[in-house]
Amino acid sequence: MRSENKTMAEITLKSGKKAMPRIDLTPMVDLGFLLITFFVFTTSLNEPRGMTIQMPAEGTGTAIGHHVAMTVLLGPNHQLLYLTGEDALNEKWELATKVGFQNTGFRKALQAHQQFIQNAIKQGLRGAKLNDQAFILIKPGQDSKYEDLISTLDELQINGIHQYALMDISPQEEAVLKNRI
């Protein structure tokens, strides 16, 4: 028996000459286009989401009812101080409550404030109107982290609070933060 020494891709013609095989690349090109289409499609669905912040126009300030006001001072170590109601408008920082973002401390404070507003409307508190909503004044301190500001805005969005203002912190409020936190 005679053994022939042929390779797999070798084609022998009837005339005994060896010819190069023809490889069809069409399926490979089709697969390449399918992969490209898949990756383009999936990356266009994975767009980053952002939070829109509407900045106020220049001009006079907005009058806020005492029962809807809440002032938040963002301090170091993911801690904050807050005042609500007349205490917030009169800046009685000795009565401020200290909470953090862990264990939903700030979320509970926002929910309690919203409940206070609803009770004020039900009881007919002077100046309370049916469509009153919480208005939060956010004042980041020098030692606060950007992450805390984002967490504050997230908590406002979670609780359905759409009226807030980012403000500069006063030197007196900065001193309160240093003493209390």
Q: What is the pLDDT of residues 41-94, one digit of tens each?
A: 887 665 666 666 666 667 676 677 778 888 899 998 888 999 888 887 788 888
* Domain count along the chain: 1
Look at residue 11 and tell me if it is in a domain: no
Count H helices, E strands: the chain? 5, 7
DSSP letter (8 states) at residue 99: E
Look at residue 38 and tell me if it is in a domain: no
The model's pLDDT over 149-180, given as tens digits with 9 standing for 90+, comes to 988 998 898 889 888 888 889 899 898 888 88
Look at residue 1 and tell me if it is in a domain: no
Domain that includes residue 157, residue range: 69-180
Look at residue 89 and tell me if it is in a domain: yes
Question: What separation in angstroms does the CA of 99 have from each of 21, 94, 170?
Answer: 76, 15, 20
Q: The tokens of 113 are what?
A: 């404030």
Q: The tokens of 75 are what?
A: 């301090």
pTM over 0.85: no
Look at residue 48 and tell me if it is in a domain: no
Look at residue 44 and tell me if it is in a domain: no
Q: What is the pLDDT of residue 180?
A: 84
Look at residue 135 and tell me if it is in a domain: yes
Look at residue 42 and tell me if it is in a domain: no
Helix residue ranges, H only, 6-98: 26-45, 85-89
Strands 18-19 and 11-12: antiparallel
Question: What separation in angstroms does the CA of 141 have from each of 37, 56, 68, 75?
Answer: 48, 21, 23, 5
- Which of 8-12, 24-28, 161-165 shows the lowest mean pLDDT across its residues? 8-12
CATH number at residue 123: 3.30.420
- Which of 14-18, 129-133, 140-144, 169-173 shows the lowest mean pLDDT across its residues? 14-18
Please give the Cα distance from 181 to 174 (Å, whole number). Answer: 11
